[in-house]
Structure 1
Amino acid sequence: MTPNLPQSVSGVGIDLLDIDRMKLAYQRHGEAFFQRVFTKQEIEFCSSKLNPFPSYAVRFAAKEAVFKALSQVGIRIVRWQDIEVTQSTDGVPALSVIGAEDYSYHLSMSHTTTLATAIVVIERNR
């Protein structure tokens, strides 16, 4: 059996977000905004933080970066919740993407007190 190995880079996406925009979205739309954009697991993780907004913002940036990377291969994900940012037991971020399982995802994300950023590289699996 041949291992399911990546073939080559198919797309790259990057996003930068002012964390205050996430706060503003919450002030305008409340929990409904988070429930529309984030999965239950993402909400539980972010809500467990003393200041949840950087965690929400960096995950939002990751989802935007996925949209951008997948658009380069003609895939349009419709629902925000089809993209989920997860973490391995050692804290490494990972992605789960419904509707684009033929790709491997590489995610890097970071935030300061004011900005959140994420970059996603996708590779088509053999």
Structure 2
Amino acid sequence: MAHVEPAHLVELALGNATPTEADTEALRHVDQCARCRDELRVLTRLVNAARTARLVDLPTAPPERVWRRISRGISPETNTPEPPPRVLDRRTRAVLAVLALATTVGAAVALRCLHERSRVVRCRVIR
């Protein structure tokens, strides 16, 4: 049984494209294969979390007192440098959210590909 390609599972999780016959076949396979079903479930949860993320969910800069303490610990005899800007504008936060999603999806696909390659190598060695 051929498993659904990781990139195809990502496309199914994103749900952006018009469904094709290949998508229908892939979903039939997902219904019968626990491994592909679990992987699609994880990717779908990731996509839903990224799509519903709000700006307040993104990390913010540490409080100024933390920055000062770090600066004193690094160089106690020099003047404390100015802390980094505390608030990122909406566009920057949105870009960071998209980059985080893209990185996560890319990492999931890469791990899946590595897993598949190592499984194929093990199968060949055993035979």
Question: If the length of structure 1 is used for normalisation, what is the TM-score?
Answer: 0.29
Structure with more contact order per residue of length (Cα contacts < 8 Å, sep ≥ 6): 1
Which structure: larger Rg?
2
Question: If the length of structure 2 is used for normalisation, what is the TM-score?
Answer: 0.29
- Higher strand residue share: 1
- Higher helix residue share: 2
